[in-house]
Amino acid sequence: MDKAKAYSAAGATTPLALDTIPRRAVTDRDVKIEILFCGICHSDLHTVRNEWSSVMETVYPCVPGHEIVGRVTAVGAAVSRHEVGDLVGVGCLVDSDHTCPACRADMEQFCPGAVFTYNGPDRHLGGVTYGGYSESVVVDEAFVLRVPANLDLAGVAPLLCAGITTYSPLRHWKVGPGKKVGVVGLGGLGHMGVKFARAFGAHVVVFTTSPEKAKDALRLGAHEVVNSRDADAMAKHAFSFDFILDTVSADHDVNAYIGLLSLDGNLTLVGAPEKPLPVSSFALLFGRKSVSGSLIGGIAETQEMLDFCGEHGITADVEVIPIQQVNEAYERMLRSDVKYRFCIDMASLKNA
């Protein structure tokens, strides 16, 4: 067993602070990664503060981080996909049972035995898994992604969660040329949704409650921006959307958006508001509309997404910070004061 520097939270109300954590010795199937960048996802904050205790209780100390980019420093004897020196990424998953129907269909995210990158059951060391706010990580090669060499690495890190979370439903619902697509919310997820929907060739409309974001939405690739508080502006788009990606994690009125879907239109939720959202059945009946959810993506699709980003020069818009500013970044994230994702430069942990 090795040790690694990390930032951990000792409890739900404790700030993240420097710590030392165990990392397993590299097994035959493992890849050891020196972490270069780690994005800050809203899930990190929810988990650190035990806000999802009804679904999964947080075990402390908690080391979050599932938007990991780094360089391979060691590989096990049986590893065939990665070599020392390779640029690689790790997202929300580090293991699964490899045998269930979901795994066989390349959808490990829905595996009942899926192991999440942090706060998941650690099958090697016991306790829970520790995430990417750390100098290194050891991961089964099957869950390690290849990172295109032409992209800015800080901007790649958020692709591993925010990227695949938006890419997967846009692909599933066949967003492409000739389709009118809405993106609700322009944060970490929404700004990636806009970039992908545009790159797929769709007509992209951003809905936001912050009109000052309009210019930025257009810069990111939107064709139109609608202030969702403006009833007249909303009414102009009634029954016109093939697909709407709803990235909002706060309480909001989904029926206002269902009304904008056309025949057989779909609205997919990728945010997770705390309380159930009321859905009007009438809004669904008239037009055979549907509301769905989507959760990250499988490993094969995550690789496809990274390769697509490499070909099209797509990365997240990030504000790079040293790890010493992570607690401040959490407070700013709560105020939506970030364009559009914080990313930790892990070199800052070396001298910590």
Residue 96 binds Zn ion, judged by CB under 5 A: yes
Candidate segments 89-97, 121-129, 145-153, 327-335, binder of Zn ion by CB under 5 A:
89-97
Q: Which is nearer to Zn ion, 2 or 97 (CB)?
A: 97
Q: Which residues are CB-neighbours of 126 under 8 A, at least 6 positions away?
A: none
Residue 326 binds Zn ion, judged by CB under 5 A: no
Q: Which is nearer to Zn ion, 87 or 103 (CB)?
A: 103
**φ, ψ (nearest 5 deg) of residue 261:** -75, 145
Q: Which of 12, 56, 100, 142 binds Zn ion (CB under 5 A)?
A: 100
Residue 247 binds Zn ion, judged by CB under 5 A: no
Q: State which of positions 158-187 bind Zn ion (CB under 5 A).
A: 161
Report CA dihedral (66, 71, 75, 78) to the nearest 10 degrees: 70
The nearest distance, CB 161 to Zn ion, in angstroms, is: 3
Residue 343 binds Zn ion, judged by CB under 5 A: no
Q: Which is nearer to Zn ion, 111 or 343 (CB)?
A: 111
Hey, which bits of the chain come out as E strands?
2-8, 17-23, 30-40, 68-75, 87-90, 93-95, 115-116, 136-140, 145-146, 180-184, 203-208, 224-227, 241-246, 261-269, 290-293, 318-322, 341-345
The nearest distance, CB 332 to Zn ion, in angstroms, is: 17
Q: Which of 35, 36, 41, 333 binds Zn ion (CB under 5 A)?
A: 41
Q: Which is nearer to Zn ion, 33 or 157 (CB)?
A: 157
Q: Which residues are CB-neighbours of 44 under 8 A, at least 6 positions away?
A: 64, 65, 66, 118, 131, 133, 330
Considering only CA atoms, which of 190, 191, 182 is closest in space to residue 265?
182
Q: Which residues are CB-neighbours of 235 under 8 A, at least 6 positions away?
A: none
Q: State which of positions 101-160 bind Zn ion (CB under 5 A).
A: 103, 111
Candidate segments 26-34, 73-81, 93-101, 185-193, binder of Zn ion by CB under 5 A:
93-101
Residues that bind Zn ion (CB under 5 A): 41, 43, 96-97, 100, 103, 111, 161
